Amino acid sequence: MLLLGTTLYQFRLVLRNTKQQGKISAMNSFGDTIRDLRIAQDLGLRETATKVGISPAYLSRIERGKERPPRPEVIKALAKTLAADPDVLFRLSSSTDPEVIDFLHDQPEAIALLRYLKDTSFTSDEVEQLLKLAEKIKKPAK
Check if the beta carbon of residue 53 is closer than 8 Å to that of residue 77.
yes
pLDDT digits (tens, 9 = 90+) for 49-65: 999 999 999 999 999 99
pLDDT digits (tens, 9 = 90+) for 60-87: 999 999 998 899 999 999 999 999 999 8
Is residue 102 included in any domain, yes or no? no
Q: What's the confidence (pLDDT) of residue 103?
A: 92
Report in angstroms the alpha-carbon separations of 88 from 2, 13, 132: 7, 7, 18
Is residue 28 included in any domain, yes or no? yes
pTM: 0.65
Q: Where are the alpha helices (DSSP H) in the chain?
A: 7-16, 30-40, 45-52, 56-63, 72-81, 86-92, 98-106, 108-119, 124-138
Distance CA 38, CA 34 (A): 6
Check if the beta carbon of residue 23 is closer than 8 Å to that of residue 56.
no
Domain boundaries, position 59: 7-94
Check if the beta carbon of residue 23 is closer than 8 Å to that of residue 36.
yes
Task: Identify the band that residue 89 occupies on the pLDDT scale cut at 50, 70 and 90.
Answer: very high
Specify whether 69 is located in the same domain as 130.
Answer: no
Specify whether 38 is located in the same domain as 73.
Answer: yes
What total number of domains does the chain contain? 2
Q: What is the mean pLDDT of residues 107-126?
A: 93
The CATH number covering residue 26 comes to 1.10.260.40
Specify whether 119 is located in the same domain as 61.
Answer: no
